[in-house]
Chain A
Amino acid sequence: MEQILLGAVSLGLLWSIMTLGVYISYRVLDVADLTVEGSITLGAAVTARLIVTGGDPYVALVFSFLAGLGAGLVTGLLHTKLRIPALLSGILTMIALYSVNLRVMGMANISMLRMTTAYSIIGSLLGVNKTLSVIILGGAMALIIVLILYWFFGTEVGSAIRATGNNPFMVRAQGVNTDNTIILGLMLANGLVALSGGLIAQSQNYADVQMGTGSIVIGLASLIIGEVLFGKRNFLSRLLSVLFGAITYRIIIALVLRLGMPADDLKLFTAITVALALSLPRFKDLRDTLKVSMNGRKKHA
């Protein structure tokens, strides 16, 4: 059981970086960006390709991040310069990335078994096992990224990006080119998602062209779980809640699997969870109207 829990925490930390990316597009920019499904695989593909050709695993992660920036750039350009709706722009890049990822890998999947990864380096340095080294590296990176994002969104550029998600009309009236802020936000989001993809691939010693399927829903589920359970007081606590949400999601999944749910049903389970969570406000409305009409009836009686 402890092993399962530690495994879930380590996986949650790696996916939390992807969830931070989803937070930037979905919550900060207010764009449902499906590029994510392709860019997480892109990150994995780039890392895997570089590692099997003898590249340094840390340098590989840098390239994964850069590749993700590129994916976000493409979606951003499609959306802002060519005026294609954001959802469709994301889908187009996602589909295009499927072919790109196959080309990057040269095949449908790459195994990195017994190769040097970022974790094996930490493992032999600190003398800890694989799971612990994933937790150490994943945790350190997630925390550093949270701090960087906290700083960045407090800067002039970061404020302009936040305001763009809030009210693009007002932002233009204040002299900001919203095309640029949207592109920048999407780049940053997908850079993080791809970095997360690289970290995940190294942890499972494996990259697969299918691994991104459904990842946007996992990101949203983690995001919402974090918001519901850990509140959203100030910006730092929001970012941290994203991190805890991703870990909690993995623990929940580990538990339901252990309780006997077939692994094939996982995505259905996640989708239903997200649908329920997203409709929570609607249920609250319904409850309130019910209450009001009940009270009304009482008064009339």
Chain B
Amino acid sequence: MLKVEGLTKIFNPGTINEKTALDDVSLHLKPGDFVTVIGGNGAGKSTLLNAVAGVYRPEMGSIYLDGKRIDRLAEHKRAKDLGRVFQDPLMGTAADMEIQENLALALRRGKRRGLGWGVTAREKVAFREKLATLGLGLEDRMSVKVRLLSGGQRQALTLLMAILKAPKLLLLDEHTAALDPKTARQVLALSDHFIQDLGLTCMMVTHNMRDAIAFGNRLIMMSQGRVILDVEGDEKKLLTVEQLVKLFSSRSGEEVNNDRMLLG
């Protein structure tokens, strides 16, 4: 489904701030793969997701989605096949627009926008149903401005917007890290539910090792712009946090930093 080959991303090349954020990364996702991504701060996890989404142009390498080469496409052109949720709950929605207007923007992803209504009456009915699946009561507040929602509600809405059109690839970048533990669990459970339900292919960055083991069918670990571990299936299911920590230090040569990678 996703084929990343020899991907290299260098920030500020040729300057004193030069930083190789991705160093010859190759990765192949099968349809339906749900990959959790872990790694220390600055390992290149976000850069990998952003390079796939087209926020940055890589210096080298290629990216194929469903057989189509996309690494030269502009960000908005790749968007039709991608769903994205970000760490910052403010980033995924338009704050001064209504819940239903945000959903309508997402529903038109990949379509030509014209002078038809931004939100139609029929769409509102469908949105109400979809919002109800979040279990947050947002279906009764569809004309409320997103600004008035809590971080968790905004993140759940962003998730719904991301999967509304059943994207070929769902990119979740620490999307529960900014939420309180209870809300984080809810949003994570919702994400898992949507991914299973729609059979989505997904990459989910998390700093919680236990979540990385519990969710998905495959786990990759990154360090210094490289993939240093890639396990799937039963091997992944049987992993323990202790093993992961050991693997991390032996393969990256770093110690696990407790602030960033939660062991529990």
Name A residues whose Cβ lies closer than 8 Å to a Cβ of B.
152, 154-160, 162-163, 166-167, 169-178
A157, B115: Cβ atoms closer than 8 Å: yes
We find that the number of chain B residues with CB closer than 8 angstroms to chain A is 34
Which of A154, A155, A173 is in CB contact (< 8 Å) with B79? A173
User: Using Cβ atoms and an 8 Å threshold, which residues of chain A touch B101?
Assistant: 159, 163
Tell me the bound Cα distance from A157 to B77 in angstroms. 16
Tell me the bound Cα distance from A163 to B114 in angstroms. 15
B79, A169: Cβ atoms closer than 8 Å: no
Minimum CB distance partner of A167 in chain B: B94
B84, A154: Cβ atoms closer than 8 Å: no
Given that A154-B118, A158-B118, A159-B118 are contacting pairs, would A173 and B92 also be in contact in the complex, using a CB cutoff of 8 Å? yes
A156, B79: Cβ atoms closer than 8 Å: no
B92, A157: Cβ atoms closer than 8 Å: no
Tell me the bound Cα distance from A178 to B54 in angstroms. 14
User: Using Cβ atoms and an 8 Å threshold, which residues of chain A touch B76?
Assistant: 172, 175-178
Minimum CB distance partner of A156 in chain B: B113
Q: Which of A155, A162, A175, A177 has the most CB of B within 10 A?
A: A175
A174, B115: Cβ atoms closer than 8 Å: no
A156, B91: Cβ atoms closer than 8 Å: no
A162, B94: Cβ atoms closer than 8 Å: yes
B74, A177: Cβ atoms closer than 8 Å: yes
User: Using Cβ atoms and an 8 Å threshold, which residues of chain A touch B109?
Assistant: 174-175
Which of A152, A166, A177, A178 is in CB contact (< 8 Å) with B97? A166
Tell me the bound Cα distance from A158 to B117 in angstroms. 9
A171, B94: Cβ atoms closer than 8 Å: yes
Say whether B184 faces chain A, with CB atoms less than 8 Å apart.
no
User: Using Cβ atoms and an 8 Å threshold, which residues of chain B touch A152?
Assistant: 115
A160, B105: Cβ atoms closer than 8 Å: yes
User: Using Cβ atoms and an 8 Å threshold, which residues of chain B touch A176?
Assistant: 76, 105, 113
User: Using Cβ atoms and an 8 Å threshold, which residues of chain B touch A154?
Assistant: 117-118
Minimum CB distance partner of A151 in chain B: B115
User: Using Cβ atoms and an 8 Å threshold, which residues of chain B touch A166?
Assistant: 94-97
